[in-house]
Amino acid sequence: MIRGLTKAGLGNIESDEQYITSAAQYGFGAVDLNPLSYVQTYGLEQAVYLLESNKVIIGSSDLPVEWRTSDEQFRNGLKTLTAMAEASAALGVDKCCTYILPSTDQPAASFMAAATKRLRLCADILDAFGIRLGLEFVGCHHLRTQWKNPFIWRVEDTLDWINTIHAPNVGLLVDSYHWHTNGLEMNELLKLRREQVVHVHINDAYDLPIEELKDGERLYPGEGVIDLRGFLKNLKTIGYNDVVAQEVLAPEAELDVETRFAKSKAGFDLVFEC
């Protein structure tokens, strides 16, 4: 598997160039970033050079479409999605991901009906460029009641929804924090098939009852109580050999960027044996 990063937990990174070169310096082989803005900033030739010269790939990008609100907002984002998919294909990026909030102010049934159509269309656009779409279930208990109506937070329900979306390039983004806040044992990862997993996030949790864990209060790998070695071992067992990207959503601490990269490396060194 490939050590990867998201920008979450890394502080105020000045540029994608700094992000890529620092990732390489600290032993990471992948970064998650927006391929479209990256190419627009550096031009395609320089964008490719920065990645290749540092031996870094782009692991995944965020879905740039607002599929959770109005039809108008959704339609307005489709042009950006196509442009991002073109940039992704030019850079060899084959994954794009989005998260599912576990509650909504909209009636759950009508929200699911609209979201199913929208995500199917997004998946079709991405598939034309050879890109998979990963859906991330969010397990944190406080978000299950943040809005009026409960929605989806369990892996089984997410897989059922993926079957309903019925697009061959849609699968899961598996996040160790959300796996943990769902109360799932690491050996339950063995129930997944390799083709169901699009992308992986890794982070750690405080030693608290899972009902008390907050989405924005995560730890670097190796600093908490999640069995991340078991997490990675079981992903490897099912055949996952792609990017594992750190995502540490946490209150801002007074650490400089280099210290955060060093903490990230130290965390991976503790748990990453693949």
Per-residue pLDDT band for 237 (boundaries 50, 70, 90) equals: very high
Q: State residue 211's pLDDT score.
A: 97
**pLDDT band (50, 70, 90) for residue 169:** very high
Q: How confident is the model at residue 274, as a pLDDT?
A: 58
Residue 244's pLDDT band (cuts 50, 70, 90): very high
Query: What local confidence, expressed as pLDDT, does residue 273 receive?
Result: 77
When pLDDT is averaged across residues 90-106 and rounded to a whole number, the result is 98
Q: Which has the closest alpha carbon to 104: 151, 160, 174?
A: 151
Provide the pLDDT for residue 125: 98
pLDDT at 161 over 90: yes
pLDDT reading at 25 higher than 90: yes
Residue 254 banded pLDDT, cuts 50, 70, 90: confident
Structure tokens at 235: 């992903």
Q: What is the CATH number of the domain that holds 163?
A: 3.20.20.150
β-pairing verdict for 103-104 and 149-150: antiparallel
- The neighbouring-strand residues paired with 103 are 150
**Average pLDDT, integer, range 43-64:** 98
- How many domains are contained in the chain? 1
Which tens digit of pLDDT belongs to each residue from 109-143? 999 999 999 999 999 999 999 999 999 999 999 99
Q: What is the mean pLDDT of residues 234-263?
A: 94
Contact present, 201 and 242 (Cβ < 8 Å) = no
Question: How distant, in Å, are the alpha carbons of 21, 40, 46 from that of 52?
Answer: 11, 18, 10
* Residues of the domain holding 25: 2-272
pLDDT at 192: 98
Is the pTM here over 0.95, yes or no? yes
**CA–CA distance from 114 to each of 67, 121, 157 (Å)?**
9, 11, 17
